[in-house]
Amino acid sequence: MKILYISKYATFLPYSGSRQYYLCQEFIKLGHDVVLLCSNSNHLAVQTPKGFTFYKVYVIKSLKVLCFNVLRYSSSGSLFRIISWLHFDFYVLIHLLISRKYDRVIISSLSLTTILPVVILKSFFNYKIVLRSETYGLFRERF
């Protein structure tokens, strides 16, 4: 099965490995073909990929990672964070329009807007959508 895993805040090795990254690795062990879409804009990450313009492709243990270069911000309460969400969502929409080849689309660590491109294109390409809620981020920011 071809799986697209979308998570703006996912991190991957060698920068660090988030639970989204490790879940993708487990899907690969089960024999699935997985692509992880993420961004380099994460105000909680100690280190993120830099030095590219539009996106960069990484292949880590058979996992294809497409890391989009989106607007960076330093505060979770800033207007730039919302603009960064929309920037990432635009890239996701473009990727889905170009690719159109996934059996399942998993959306994780939802921003307020990340679901929009997938829902818009679901009617055209008949994607099966899985929403994965990650509430641990809310607690980490507060404590």
The answer, yes or no, to whether residue 47 has pLDDT greater than 50, is: yes
Q: Which is more confident, 143 or 12? A: 12
Tokens coding 62: 């058979």
State the Cα–Cα distance between residues 109 and 36, nearest whole angstrom: 13
State the Cα–Cα distance between residues 65 and 76, nearest whole angstrom: 25
Pairing state of beta strands 55-60 and 63-68? antiparallel
Which pLDDT score is estimated for 142? 34
Q: Which is more confident, 2 or 52? A: 2
State the Cα–Cα distance between residues 71 and 104, nearest whole angstrom: 27
State the Cα–Cα distance between residues 9 and 38, nearest whole angstrom: 6
pLDDT digits (tens, 9 = 90+) for 87-133: 888 888 888 888 878 888 888 866 667 677 777 777 777 777 776 65
The answer, yes or no, to whether residue 140 has pLDDT greater than 90, is: no
Model pTM?
0.77
* Whole-Å CA distances, 78 to 9, 28, 72, 86: 16, 36, 11, 14
